[in-house]
Each structure stands twice: as C-alpha cells, then as structure tokens.
C-alpha cells in the first residue's frame, strides 16, 4: 500500500506543478538557472562517458570478429546501433539520474528541512510550480545533450577502431552507413524526452515530500536515484517493445 500511496502522491504532485503558475518574469530566470545546473554542467561527464563507451563497443566488437569471412565494417555498424539505440539514451540517462537526480533531491530536500518551502507557501506561492516546473522545462533540452552523446560515442568508436588498427576509416564509415534506419533516431529521442521527465520529477518528489533532518536528505537522494533508475529501465523495456516490437 505504501507504494500505491506514493504513486498517487506523485500523480497529485504532477497535477499541482502545472496549477497557479509563477510570474513569467521570475520563472524565466529560474528556467535559465536550471538549464545551466542540470544540462550545461553535465555535458562534461556525458562527453567523457560517451567517448569511452563508444570506444569499448568498437574494441569488443573487433575482438569478437574472429571469422575472416565477416566484414570489418561490422564494427562501425555495431557501434552505431549500440550507441544510438541504447547506450546514449538509456545508459547516460541512468548516469544523469545519479548526478542530476541527487542534486535535485538534495536541493529541494534541504529547502524542506530549512523550512524555505513552508515560507514560500505562506507567501502564497505555488511551491511545486516554483521548484519543479523550471526543472521540467530545463530537461526538455536534454535531447540536445544526448545528440552530443551519440556523436561523441560514435567518434570514440572510430578513434578506437582506426587508431587501434582494427579497421580502416573507410570501413568504419561504410559500416555506419549500412542499413541505417532514420526511425532509430526518433526512437532514441522519444525515449530521451520521457526519461528527461522522469529524471526531473521523481527526484523532485522524493525531495519535496521528505521528512526529517539533514541525515534524511542523503537517504532521500539515494532512494530517488534507485527509483529513478528502476523506472528508466522499466520504461526502456516498454518503449522498446512499443516502438520497435
């Protein structure tokens, strides 16, 4: 029953987020602040992880191509499919659930502990709209970060494959172009947008409704990361079945 109650509270929170909006003059500055905190500051870790994921995929594919009859351009094909379909949208989103989600939970949780949220509500401000709505809007720019992740991941695969001596640049590019399905890009961005909403709202829920003191802020951050990751993995399965099945 606790889980059902939490799901119900989460749904109510989402409804309240879009009621009684904050003045645009104030909301605009909040949105730009969240874009900087949630998206721009995360680009470094996204680029770092994506580069080495793409490189590892290319190397592992190359090392498993022991049959001389299998063309080497399969390395480029496997790198493209792995990075675009799964690693960029899903794996990076789980990393972001840890980095961004923990930040969201801890920042809102600290405001709850220090009674700043109570002060907002006393002043007649819709605290959920003030705190959560800018994060949802900021995370709408998350697909741009995933697009960079895709490019960097494929570039990392090219670097590892070509400079590792596993294949030529021409073979890798030929593999990238082989049997390319444009819908796979759309599929990845649809997943990314849904994951972005999850990353923005579930940590906000755990931070906003937490109880206790400073110690519970850390516990809430851990719990929000676990549940955000679980929801992302389940949604990944459902969306894959719906869109590609």
**Average pLDDT in the 186-196 region?**
92
Give pLDDT, residue 144.
Answer: 93
**Residue 168's pLDDT band (cuts 50, 70, 90):** confident
Q: How many domains does the chain have?
A: 1
> What's the mean per-residue pLDDT of the chain?
88
Which pair of structure tokens corresponds to residue 188?
């990845």
Give pLDDT, residue 64.
Answer: 85
Nearest to 34 by CA among 82, 117, 86, 100: 100
Give pLDDT, residue 9.
Answer: 84
Does pLDDT of 171 surpass 90? no
In a domain, residue 10? The reply is no
Cα–Cα distance measured from residue 198 to residue 67, given in angstroms and rounded to the nearest whole number: 43
Other C-beta atoms lying within 10 Å of the C-beta of residue 64? 12
In a domain, residue 2? The reply is no
Strands (E) located in 71-154: none
Strands (E) located in 45-102: none
Tokens 């590609």, residue? 244
Give pLDDT, residue 188.
Answer: 92
In a domain, residue 59? The reply is yes
For residue 101, the surrounding DSSP H or E stretch is: helix 92-113
When comparing pLDDT for 198 and 17, which is higher? 198
Tokens 């070509």, residue? 162
- Whether 172 contacts 157, CB under 8 Å: yes
In a domain, residue 134? The reply is yes
Give pLDDT, residue 1.
Answer: 47
**Average pLDDT in the 144-157 region?**
93
Give pLDDT, residue 156.
Answer: 93
Which pair of structure tokens corresponds to residue 233?
């993995």
Which pair of structure tokens corresponds to residue 40?
């721009």
* Parent domain of 189: 23-244
In a domain, residue 18? The reply is no
- Quote the DSSP letter at residue 67: -
pLDDT digits (tens, 9 = 90+) for 50-86: 999 999 999 998 888 777 777 888 888 988 989 998 8
* Residue 102 CA: distances (Å) to CA of 95, 108, 122, 229: 11, 10, 27, 12
Cα–Cα distance measured from residue 7 to residue 129, given in angstroms and rounded to the nearest whole number: 19
pLDDT digits (tens, 9 = 90+) for 13-50: 888 888 888 888 888 888 999 899 889 988 999 999 99
3-state helix, strand, coil in the chain (%, to 5): 85, 0, 15
225 φ/ψ angles, rounded to the nearest 5 degrees = -65, -45
In a domain, residue 82? The reply is yes
When comparing pLDDT for 158 and 244, which is higher? 158
- Whether 189 contacts 74, CB under 8 Å: no
pLDDT digits (tens, 9 = 90+) for 113-143: 888 888 878 887 888 888 889 999 999 999 9
Give pLDDT, residue 122.
Answer: 83
**pTM of the entire structure?**
0.89
In a domain, residue 5? The reply is no
């Amino acid at each position: 029953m606790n889980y059902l109650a939490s799901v119900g509270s989460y749904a109510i929170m989402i409804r309240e987020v879009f009621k009684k909006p904050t003045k645009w003059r104030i909301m605009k500055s909040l949105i730009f602040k969240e874009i900087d905190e949630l998206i721009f500051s995360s680009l470094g870790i996204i680029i770092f992880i994506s580069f080495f994921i793409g490189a590892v995929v290319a190397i592992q594919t190359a090392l498993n191509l022991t049959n001389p009859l299998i063309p080497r351009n399969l390395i480029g094909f496997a790198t493209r499919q792995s990075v675009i379909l799964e690693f960029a949208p899903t794996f990076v989103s789980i990393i972001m659930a840890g980095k961004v989600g923990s930040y969201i939970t801890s920042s809102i949780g600290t405001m709850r502990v220090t009674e700043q949220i109570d002060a907002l509500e006393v002043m007649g401000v819709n605290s959920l709209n003030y705190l959560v709505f800018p994060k949802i809007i900021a995370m709408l720019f998350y697909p741009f970060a995933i697009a960079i992740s895709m490019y960097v991941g494929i570039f990392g695969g090219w670097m590892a494959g070509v400079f590792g001596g596993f294949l030529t640049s021409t073979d890798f590019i030929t593999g990238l172009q082989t049997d390319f399905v444009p819908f796979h890009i759309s599929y990845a961005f649809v997943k990314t947008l849904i994951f972005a909403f999850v990353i923005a709202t579930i940590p906000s829920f755990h931070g906003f409704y937490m109880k206790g003191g400073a110690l519970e802020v850390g516990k809430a951050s851990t719990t929000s990361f676990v549940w955000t990751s679980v929801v992302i993995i389940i949604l990944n399965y459902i969306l894959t079945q719906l869109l590609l099945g």
